[in-house]
Amino acid sequence: MSRPSEGTLQRAIAFLAALGIGVAAYIAIADANSGSPVCLGGGSGCETVARSSWSHLGGVNIAVFGVVAYALLLATAFFADDLARFAGFVLALGGFGYSVFLTYVELFKIEAVCQWCLASAVLMTILFGLCAARLIVFAGAPEASPERA
């Protein structure tokens, strides 16, 4: 099986990070409008999670931090140097770790699951895999000319 080029990984990271921005922005906007995200399959999981105190950190909805993290991840996809590779890995690692923690909180503390949070966790998990692969395979490689992501 042929190894994907760094450009392919960059494009995949950019696509998923853009999706992540959309998901996190939806949650943040719903919160800013004093509402909660609507679970597509019905049920009250999204409202329960959104209304829980776990949804805010220092008075700021954690989805706002998600938007920032996804935006930074998106930015790393536009560069093909070691700084971008390593920064992407660290951002995705942090996002993945926090997603694991939040999923634990949903399941065992809030006892409700928000589909949008779960979607973000899945996106962050895939992004972590892609960023880790990018770093492991391409770290130390000569700086490529900027890629269109």
Q: How far apart are CA 3 and CA 26, in angstroms?
A: 35
Task: Quote the least distance from Cβ 82 to another protein, whole Å.
Answer: 6
Cβ atoms < 10 Å from Cβ of 56: 14
Q: Which is nearer to another protein, 71 or 105 (CB)?
A: 105
Distances (CA, A) of 107 to 72, 103, 104: 28, 6, 5
| Cross-strand bridge partners of residue 56 | 61
Question: How many residues bind to another protein according to rule CB under 8 A?
Answer: 35
Q: Quote the strand ranges of 1-149, DSSP E.
A: 56-57, 60-61
Q: Which of residues 7-66 bind another protein (CB under 8 A)?
A: 34, 44, 47-48, 51-53, 56, 59
Q: Which is nearer to another protein, 74 or 102 (CB)?
A: 102
Task: Quote the least distance from Cβ 9 to another protein, whole Å.
Answer: 15
The C-alpha angle 109, 71, 103, rounded to 5 degrees, equals 15
Place of tokens 């995705």: 92
Q: Which of residues 82-111 bind another protein (CB under 8 A)?
A: 82, 85-86, 89-90, 93-94, 96-98, 100-101, 104-105, 108-111
Q: Three-class SS of residue 127?
A: helix
Q: Which is nearer to another protein, 22 or 56 (CB)?
A: 56
Binding interface with another protein (CB under 8 A) = 34, 44, 47-48, 51-53, 56, 59, 82, 85-86, 89-90, 93-94, 96-98, 100-101, 104-105, 108-112, 132, 135-136, 139-142
